[in-house]
Amino acid sequence: MTDLLEIATIITTVISFMVAIANIVLLVGLIRIFHSSYRKIKAKFTRGLLTFVTFLLVQQLFFLMGLIALNTFRQFSAGGPIFFLNALELVALIIFYRTTRE
């Protein structure tokens, strides 16, 4: 039983790492889009979106550093919920990115 939990922990960690990288790539793409728009328009709303996405990027970088440096997913019970929250963020960012690109 312990071996199965260790395998599940490793799989969760690897998938969480991949999801975090995907989130970072999408956030950097959104920052580029909003920065380009802000330089042209100078709209307060665009500046707010740029700030919002920048804070999400910082949060995601801290998550990734914690995943790597602190190895926070040693306990599967903690890794599962955090992984699902990060996966939900990925879905939301994909929708946000696709909507922004249109």
pLDDT tens-place string over residues 34-66:
999 999 999 999 999 999 999 999 999 988 888
Q: How many angstroms separate the Cα of 3 from the Cα of each of 24, 56, 64, 72, 82?
A: 32, 35, 25, 19, 21
pLDDT band at residue 75 under the 50/70/90 scheme: low
Q: Looking at residue 89, what is its pLDDT?
A: 94
CA angle, 50 then 52 then 56, to 5°: 115
Residue 92's nearest CA partner among 44, 45, 60, 47 is 60
Domain total of the chain: 1
| CA-based R_g, the chain, Å | 16
**Residue 97: domain span:** 2-101
